[in-house]
Structure 1
Amino acid sequence: MTTVLPRDAPAPTRRRRPRFTFWTGVTAATILVFVVLLLLPLFSLVISSFAGKQSDDVSLWQVYVTLFTKPYYYKALINSFVLSIAAMALSLIIGFPLAYCVTRFNIAGKLIIRAVIVLTFVSPPFIGAYSWILLLGESGVLRRWLAAVGVTLPPIYGWFGLILVLSLQGIPFVFLMVSSALKTVDQSIEDAAINLGRGPIAVIRTAILPLIVPGVSTAALLVFVTAFSDFGTPAIIGQNLRVFPRLVYNEFVNETTGGNFTVASALSVVLLAVSICALLAQRGYAERRSYGQEVLRPLAVQRIGGVRRLLATAFVYAVVFVAALPIVTVVVSSFLESKHSVITGNFTIEGYLQAPRLWSSLLNTLMFATVATLLCVVFGALVGYVTARFRTRLASFIDLMSMMPYAVPGVVLGIAFALCFAGAPLFLGGTAAILILAYFVRRLPYSIRSTSAMLSQMGTQTEEASINLGVAPGKTFLRITVPMMTPALMSGALLTWATVAREFNATVILYGSRTTTMSVEVFREVLYGNFGNASVVGTVLIAVSIVPIVILFKALGKDEDVLL
C-alpha cells in the first residue's frame, strides 16, 4: 500500500553526516598532541609510582605510605612547605609596598625601576643562588666588607640563604601582579573612601586591597609553587637541608646506585598534587573575592613630597638594588680572573675565550629554543584560534588542557618525559628531540594565551566574508587571520624563546652529554666550584634571555604586563 503525502507536506529530511573540515582536523590533532605529550607522560608517571614489587602483604599504596611515615621523606616535605610559605610571605611583605609605591607615588626613575624588575624576572632563577655565594659565602666580597665594619651575617647556606634567595626571586612576581591589579581599580573607589574620612592606610586596607585580592593571591601562588618546585637553588646553597625537589632528583638519577624509579615517580606525583591543589585553592579563593568593576578612571599618581617621598624612594631603590645585585655580581665577576673557586680583582676577557663548553652549550640553547619556539608559534596560533572562535565543549576541554602545563613543575615534567619517551620504543633519552618536545609542551600556553587574547578582541566579519567568497577555511586562516594576529604571534614567540632559553628544572633531568644547555652548564660549573666559568656562561645566558624581552618592549611597544 502506497502512502501519498499532501502536496504541501515537507519532504523527509536525511540526517547529514558531519563533514570533516580543516578545523575539525586541527581540533583532532590538538587533542592528540595533548594526549601524547602531556596526559600520556603524566599517566606513565602515576603508573610508575605503583610499579614496585608487590605481594599479598604489600599493597599498591605502600610506596605512598612509606613517603608519609618515614621521616626522611615527610620531613623533606615539611621543609619544602615551610620554606615556600616563608618565601611567599617575605615576597609579599616586600613586593606589595614596592609595587604600590612605584605605581601610586611620584618616584623618580620609574622606567629604570621597572626595567630592573623585568631583568630580574627573566634572568635564570638559580643564578641568584651562586652569585650570593660570591657575595656572602665564607670568603664573599660583601661578607668581608661587612665584617670590616663589625657586621656579621648568618651563613648563606641553609635556611637563611634559601629564604633570602627564593624571596628575592619571588618579588618580581608580586611586583608585576600587584602593579597590574592596581590598574583595574577605579579612582572613584579611593575618592569615596577618603570622603568617608579614611586615612591613607585605611584606604588601602578597606577599599583598594579587597579589589586586588585576585592579583595578590595569584602572585602568592606563583611564588609558592616556584619555591616549592625549585631544584637548582636548594642544590646550590641548601647544603644538607632536605627539600622535596632534591629528593625527587636524587631518587631518579641514582637508579644505578640504589635509587628507585618507583619512589621518584611517587615523589613526583606528590609534588604535582601539591602544585595542582595550590592552583585550585587560589582560583577558588580568587573567584569568591572577585568583584566585577568597570574602570573609567584608573588610580592617579599621588604627588608626595618631603620625608614621605624620601622614605618611599629610599625603600624602592634599596629593594631594587638588592634584587639586581646578583645579576651585577655575575656580570662583573665574568670579567675577572679566576682560579677555580677564587676570583681575583684582575680584569680579563680570557674567561670568554677559554670557557670549555660555552660555545657548544650556547649553540644547543639557541637551536633548542628556536625550534621549540617555532613549534609553539605554529601550534599556538591554531589552538588559540580554536579556543577563541569555537564555543563548544571540545574547545573548552582544549582550553583547559592548554593551561595544564602551568601546573606541572619542571622536574615532574622532566621525569614524566624520561619515563615515557627515554626508553623503548622511542629511545629519545638525552637527545635534542626529547628536550625540544618538553620545552614545546611546557611553554605552549604563552603562544596560545597571546593568540586567543587578541582574537577575542577581533571581529569575525573579514573571515566570514572570505569564506562566503569561496575561500577554504585553511586558506582564510593563513591569508586573513594570521596577518591580523602577527603582533600576538611575535609577542608569544619572544616570550617563549626567552623562557625556553633559561629552562633548567626539566632540562637537568633530560639532557645528555651532547645536549648540554647553558643553564645546565652554569649549574655544573657551580657544583664543581668553577665560579669564574659559571659567571661567564651565566652572563651569556642572561644576555640571551634579555634580548627577546628588549625586542618585545621596544619593537612591539609592550610593557611588563605581557609577562603575566
Structure 2
Amino acid sequence: MAKKRSFTFWSGVTLVIVLIFTLFIVYPLLSLFVSAFRDPETQAFTLENFMKFFSKKYYMRALGNSFKVTTLTTLLAVFIGAPLAYLTTAFKIKGKGLLDILIIISMLSPPFIGAYSWVLLAGRSGVITTFVRNTFGIELGSIYGFGGILLVLTLKLYPYIYMYTKGTLKKVDASLIEASESLGCSGIKKIFTVIMPLITPTILAGGLIVFMNALADFGTPMLIGEGFVVMPVLIYNEFISEMGGSASFAAAIAVILVMVTSVMFVLQKYVVNKKSFTMSSLRPIQAKELKGWKNIAAHVLIYFIVFVSIIPQATVIYTSFKATSGAIFVKGFSLESYRKIFTSLGGPIVNTYKFGVIAIVIIVLLSMFISYLTTRRKSTLTNIIDTLTMFPYIIPGSVLGITLLISFNDKPLILSGTSLIIIVAFVVRRMPYTLRSSAAILYQISPSMEEAAVSLGDSPVKSFFKVTAIMMLPGVLSGAILSWITIINELSASVILYTGDTRTMSVSIYTEVIRASYGTAAALASILTLTTVVSLLLFFKVSGKKEISL
C-alpha cells in the first residue's frame, strides 16, 4: 500500500500562498479578461471593445506611440548605458563610487519627478528656456510631447543597462581579452568581436526591463505628453473619464497591453536562453589608466551624463526652498512650501510610510516562505507559485490598478476606496525584488545546516525559523529595501486606486504638479528623494555591497 502523505506545516503554507495568489493575481486577471469581452450594458459576450480599438486611428495611434517611445528609449538606454559601464569598468575614473551612487539614485527616483523637473527647467517658462530666449533670442524646442518623454525616460532607464552590463563585465575573464589582443585584435574591433558577444544576453535582459518600464510608465506622458497619447494614459483616461469612459473598453485596452508585454517577455526569455552561457572569472578585468586626451574625453563624457541624469533630483531639492507667491516662484528662499505640506498634506506623507511598512512586512514574510518552497520543497503547487511570481513583471501598474478595481468593487469582497487595495497593489507589484534576493541567498545556504538542527532534536519547521530564516535575513532585508524604495515611489497603480483618505506622496506630487503648485510638489518630491537616498545607504550597510546587483 502507498504511504499516505500527512498534512504538514509546509503543506499549509503552500495552500495559503496559492489561495493568496489566486485571490489577488489570478482572479483579478480573469476578471479583467472577462470584463474586456463583456458588453457594458447587456453584460453579454462581445468582441465590440476590441473591434472599437483596432478600427479607430486614435487608439491605434496610441499603441504606435507606445512602441515608438519604448523602442527608442530602449535603444538609447543601451547606447548610453553599455559604453558607460565599459568605461567605468575598464578604466580608472575619478570618483567612480560617487558616480555609481548618483546613477542609482537617478534610477530609483520616480520618472514623473524627472518630467516635473524638466518642465521647471525647459518648459515654456522654464529657467533654461527663459535664459536662452532672453540672452540669445533663441526659442528652444518644447519639452512637451514625444521629445520630452523620450528624454525623461532615457535618463531614468539607462541605469538599468549600466548596472546589468557592469555586473557582467566584472565576470569577464581578462585572459580572453589578452588572448584576442595577442592575435592582433585591439581597440574597437576587440569590443565588437570579444566583449559584445559576451555581454549581449545581459543587454537583452536589461533591455527588457527598460522596455517594460517605458511601456508601463504613466506619470511622464501624463505630465508632459500633451497631445502625444500612449497606452497607459489612454487606459487611465478611458477608465476614469467622466465623459463617456467605459470600464469594459479600458479593460480591453489593458488586455492588449498585457498581451504585448507577455509576448515581449517570452521572446526575450527565448533569445536569452539561446544565447546565454556561464562565465567564471578567475582574473577579472583590471581598470587601466587612460592618458592624454582620451582620459579627459572619458571623464568629461561620464561626468556630463551623470550630471544630466541627476538634474531632476537637484532641481526639486533646490526649488523646494524657493519662495513662492501662490503657485509662482519668486526671488528669495523660504520654508513656506514645507510648512504647507506638513499642515495640509501631512496625510499623504503618513500614508506613504504606513502603507509602505505594512506592505514590506507582508512582502518579507511571503518572500521567505515562497523562496523556501520553490527552492527546497519543489512540487506541482510550488511550480505554479513560481510561475505566478512572474506576473508582476508583465503587468503594468495602471493595468494592475484597473484589475483590482474591477475585481473588488462589488460583493462579496469590496476593497475599492480602502487602504487595503493600495497595500495589495504594492505587494503584488514590488514583491519580486525581495523574492529574488531571498531565493539567491537561499541557494548559498547548505541544506545540511537545517539537517544538523533536525538531527539535534528540532522539528523541520523549528529548524527553518531558528537556522535558515536567520541566515536568510541579510539577503531578504537587502531585497526588502529595494522593494521599499519602489513602493514609496509608486504612482501608476496608486493614481487609479487612491481616494482622498488614501493618497500617497507620489499621488500628491502628481496632483500638485497638475495644479501648477510647484513649490509644494518640490517639497514633497524632496522628502521622497531624501527617503530614497537614506534607504539606499541602508541597503549598502545591510548588504555589505557598494552597488546594486540586478
Query: Normalized against structure 1, the TM-score is what?
Result: 0.94
The 5-angstrom pairing of residues 257-296 of structure 1 reads 257-296=243-282
Determine if contact 2:177/2:194 at 8 Å carries over to the other structure. Answer: yes
Displacement, 1:545?
Answer: 2.2
Displacement, 1:223?
Answer: 1.4
Partner-residue secondary structure (3-state), 1:337? strand
Tell me whether 1:397 sits opposite 2:423 in the alignment.
no
Determine if contact 2:368/2:438 at 8 Å carries over to the other structure. Answer: yes
Corresponding residue for residue 431 of structure 2: 444
Corresponding residue for residue 175 of structure 1: 162
What letter matches 1:481 in structure 2? T
What letter matches 1:177 in structure 2? Y
Corresponding residue for residue 113 of structure 2: 127
Determine if contact 1:340/1:531 at 8 Å carries over to the other structure. Answer: no
The 5-angstrom pairing of residues 156-167 of structure 1 reads 156-167=143-154
Partner-residue secondary structure (3-state), 1:515? coil
Corresponding residue for residue 377 of structure 1: 364
Displacement, 1:47?
Answer: 0.5
Displacement, 1:556?
Answer: 3.1
What letter matches 1:385 in structure 2? Y
Determine if contact 1:180/1:561 at 8 Å carries over to the other structure. Answer: no
Q: Percent identity?
A: 37
User: Bigger CA drift: 467-476 or 302-311?
Assistant: 467-476
Partner-residue secondary structure (3-state), 1:346? strand
Tell me whether 1:222 sits opposite 2:200 in the alignment.
no
For residues 430 and 146 of structure 2, the distance between their equivalents in structure 1, rounded to whole angstroms, comes to 31
User: Of residues 486, 490, 493 in structure 2, which corresponds to 1:503?
Assistant: 490
Structure 1 unaligned blocks of 5 or more: 1-13
Displacement, 1:397?
Answer: 2.5
Corresponding residue for residue 71 of structure 1: 57
What letter matches 1:52 in structure 2? D
Displacement, 1:157?
Answer: 0.5
Tell me whether 1:360 sits opposite 2:340 in the alignment.
no
Corresponding residue for residue 331 of structure 2: 345
Corresponding residue for residue 451 of structure 2: 464
For residues 380 and 230 of structure 1, the distance between their equivalents in structure 2, rounded to whole angstroms, comes to 26
What letter matches 2:236 in structure 1? Y
The 5-angstrom pairing of residues 26-175 of structure 1 reads 26-52=13-39, 60-147=46-133, 148-149=135-136, 152-175=139-162
For residues 297 and 51 of structure 2, the distance between their equivalents in structure 1, rounded to whole angstroms, comes to 53
Per-residue deviation, residues 9-54 of structure 1 (Å, max 9, x unmatched): xxxxx32211111111111112111111111111100001011159
Query: Normalized against structure 2, the TM-score is what?
Result: 0.96
Per-residue deviation, residues 453-484 of structure 1 (Å, max 9, x unmatched): 11111111121122234422221111111111
Tell me whether 1:209 sits opposite 2:219 in the alignment.
no
Structure 2 unaligned blocks of 5 or more: none
Displacement, 1:152?
Answer: 4.0
Corresponding residue for residue 305 of structure 1: 291
Asked which structure has the greater CA Rg, the reply is: 1
Q: How many residues are matched?
A: 548
For residues 446 and 458 of structure 1, the distance between their equivalents in structure 2, rounded to whole angstroms, comes to 19
What letter matches 1:88 in structure 2? T
User: Of residues 182, 186, 205 in structure 1, which corresponds to 2:173?
Assistant: 186
Corresponding residue for residue 319 of structure 1: 305
Displacement, 1:349?
Answer: 0.8
Given the superposition, is the C-alpha separation of residues 428 and 552 from structure 1 closer, same or farther in structure 2, using an over 3 Å criterion? same
Given the superposition, is the C-alpha separation of residues 126 and 190 from structure 1 closer, same or farther in structure 2, using an over 3 Å criterion? same
Displacement, 1:403?
Answer: 2.3
What letter matches 2:208 in structure 1? L
For residues 327 and 214 of structure 2, the distance between their equivalents in structure 1, rounded to whole angstroms, comes to 27
Tell me whether 1:541 sits opposite 2:541 in the alignment.
no
Given the superposition, is the C-alpha separation of residues 67 and 246 from structure 1 closer, same or farther in structure 2, using an over 3 Å criterion? same
Displacement, 1:153?
Answer: 2.4
Partner-residue secondary structure (3-state), 1:450? helix
Per-residue deviation, residues 173-232 of structure 1 (Å, max 9, x unmatched): 111111112122111111111111112111110101111111111221111111111111
What letter matches 2:472 in structure 1? M
Per-residue deviation, residues 219-254 of structure 1 (Å, max 9, x unmatched): 211111111111110110001111111110011112
For residues 76 and 222 of structure 1, the distance between their equivalents in structure 2, rounded to whole angstroms, comes to 21
What letter matches 1:300 in structure 2? Q
For residues 296 and 151 of structure 1, the distance between their equivalents in structure 2, rounded to whole angstroms, comes to 56
